[in-house]
Each structure stands twice: as structure tokens, then as C-alpha cells.
Amino acid sequence: MTAAGSSAIASRFSSGNVLVLLTRGKARTMGRRITEIRPSTAFATVDLDGPGKQTGFVMIPHSPDDDAWGATRVPIAVVSNGNGPTVILEGGNHGDEYEGPIVIAELIRDLDPGEIEGRLILMPSNNVHAAMAGRRTSPVDGLNFNRTFPGDPRGTITRQISAFIVDHLFPRADAFLDLHSGGSSLTMIPSAIVEPTEDTELAARNMAAARAFDAPLTVIVANLGDTRTATAAACQAGLITVGTEMAGGGTVTPTALALCRRGVRNVLAHLGVMAPEQAVPPRGDGRIMELPGSDAYVFATIDGVFEPFHELGREISAGEPAGRIHLPWDPARPPETLAYRADGIVYGRRQPGRVKPGNCCLVVAAPYRETRD
């Protein structure tokens, strides 16, 4: 399994550094989709198919005003041992979400190849310019990395990073973990996320892997059907796909970080890359929910300061007042009340108090109906 896709790669050794030349061709996979590899100038300083533990960078040639022949360095580590599945762990898809990147970087430092069977491709800061800036979107090209898949190897830097993942990493992999948090604008109930797919077998494998994470909530999030996300692209490539939303709010909480550490090892044990002893016995308190389409979101209608009426986790009903927007600079005007549009629980809440029309103030998760057609 681990050798899958290697036919598309020619590698050579140069003064102690491994330089992997990525050539045009088709990556042939076992049970995964065949992908056309698009011509690219990107290269890696690690041998993606090599044994043991290697840490380096995906190098995206980048020629801004102050650096004629420079490169954007996207950190990557490959840990490989024996035969087993290949799992990609992504953090820093958004640069202001921190639990996943911390956990992946810890694995890079602490993991001994002997502790796994298979291969881990560990990427703690994929949207690297955004991660270094502590921002959701890239300061280099202004793009939201998670709306650029399947990327473009001739596009701006953010599109080139997503293209590298789709063309050179997805064809090598069996599974993809995409570790998100709420980011600076949202605080959420820590949860494992299931990306919906029409492939019913893959959907069942995705659900099983997300349940193995063992978060207090497992939530099916369709992003309103957007196919430009990393998890949608991973499902398209046939990979078992698990996402997360840790607490967020632009900070790190001990609870969410502990949950993320534990959940990642649980999923890796579930996938057979780590020994079963690495998994923590399930707590059994997890609940499966889903975002009920556009009705999940309560959007701001006016410019002002949002006052939520409920804490996260509170059971609420469609039509119930959700909060109100105040105009403290225009005190004669009464606040504007917003209402929930679905039954469920308060799953996420906007972190900054200040809102503008269209801002997402609240997110509702609804009970999951498995019989939904």
C-alpha cells in the first residue's frame, strides 16, 4: 500500500539532501481514484516514499518583490515503517486554529517509526503564511486555503499548496485527518467532523473513523455543499476522511488540546497505523449531529454588538430568540432580535462581539437523522 503512487516519482540524491523530482504522469493507486498529476515546479526536501523519520519542507518556488528565486516552505514530516496504511495529518489549514498544529508538531518530534505500521505524512502548518501571521487567510494572496481545492499548480501560492496535496499526497494516502478549530471568529463545542459523500461505503468508513476520534460531538458538516474544501477533495480522492472543530476563539484551551491529542491517536489506532494500546477506551458519551443546511446559521442583519442569549450546548428550537444586536452609539434605536431557524443545540458562537450584516453569529447543530434521503 505504501508504495502506491511511486511510479509517478523519480528521486535522486544530492549532497546528503534528498531531492524528490515530481514528474508528470498518472499516480496508480490501490482502491483509490486515479489522479492526473499536473505539471508543477514544487518539490519536497524529504523522500515521500522513504523509510524512517524525515522532516523537511514542500518547497513552492516563490518570487516576491524581495526574493527573486526564493521558496515558500510548507513543513512536512514522513514517518514510515513496515506495511500499513498511509495517513495524512493536516493542521494549519486556517492559520488561526492551533490545537491540530500543536498535536501534529508533537507527533513529529516524539514519534518513533517503530511505534507505527505504515506511513504518516505530518503537515502541521499547510497554510504556512497564514499560520505564521496567526490569520485565517493567507497574507500572501488573500486566499482561504480551504476554498482552493483541488488547487492549481500554476496559480498563486495558496492554490499551489493545495494542488501539491491533491496531486502528490492524496494518491499516496488511504486516509486524511484535517484538524481545524473555530478560528478567531468562532468558538465551538469540540467535535469530530464527518464530510458527507455520495459514496456510501466511504461514508460509512468516514463515520466510523470520526466516531473513533471519540469527541463529545460528532457532526456532519456539508459546508453547504462546497466542494473546494480539503476534506471534500480527500473524499473525492477516495480517502477515509475525518475533520475536527476544536474550541477555537483564536486561542488554545487545555480541554480542547487534550481532546485533540487523544482523538488523533484514537483515529490512528482505528486505522491500524498505531497499536490498539495507543487508543484511549471510548467514553461512550458522544452524540452524532449534523448542520441542518443554511438553517444552521444565524447571520447578523445590522451593524452593531451581538448579545447571545445562550451558552454553547444549550437545547434550542426554531423560532426561539437567539440573541440581539445592540447599537450602543445610537441608544434611541432598540436592539434587533435574531431567531434560531432550526431545532438543535447551540454548536458555535461568534467570538468578537462586534458584528456586521452577514456575519455568522451562531451555529446550530441538529439531531442526525440517519434515514435522511
* Rounded least distance, CB 335 to Ca ion, Å: 30
By C-beta, is 59 or 257 nearer to Ca ion?
257
Report the 10 Å Cβ neighbour count for 304. Answer: 22
* Rounded least distance, CB 315 to Ca ion, Å: 25
By C-beta, is 75 or 250 nearer to Ca ion?
250
* Rounded least distance, CB 245 to Ca ion, Å: 7
By C-beta, is 180 or 270 nearer to Ca ion?
180
89 CB-near residues (< 8 Å, 6+ apart): 100, 104, 107, 120, 121, 122, 123, 177, 179, 264
Residue 141, CB half-sphere, CA atoms under 13 Å: how many?
A: 18
Residue at grid coordinates 492554490: 159
Sheet hosting strand 354-355, strand order edge to edge: 336-339, 321-326, 304-308, 354-355
Closest-approach residue to Ca ion (CB): 180
* Rounded least distance, CB 243 to Ca ion, Å: 9
Burial class (CB within 10 angstroms; exposed 0-12, middle 13-18, buried 19+) of 372: exposed
Distance CA 16, CA 132 (A): 29
Contacts with Ca ion, residue ranges (CB under 5 A): 94, 180
By C-beta, is 94 or 168 nearer to Ca ion?
94
By C-beta, is 94 or 205 nearer to Ca ion?
94
By C-beta, is 59 or 89 nearer to Ca ion?
89
By C-beta, is 118 or 248 nearer to Ca ion?
248
* Rounded least distance, CB 97 to Ca ion, Å: 5
Residues 31-46 as b/e (b if ≥16 CB within 10 A, e otherwise) read ebeebebeebebbbbb
Nearest alpha carbon to residue 62 among 54, 53, 71, 51: 71
Note whether 174 and 86 are within 8 A (CB). yes
* Rounded least distance, CB 128 to Ca ion, Å: 15
Helix H or strand E segment including 88 = strand 86-90
* Rounded least distance, CB 88 to Ca ion, Å: 17
360-367 and 297-299: which strand pairing?
antiparallel
* Rounded least distance, CB 150 to Ca ion, Å: 18
CA 284 to chain centre: 24
DSSP 8-state assignment for residue 167: I
By C-beta, is 94 or 265 nearer to Ca ion?
94
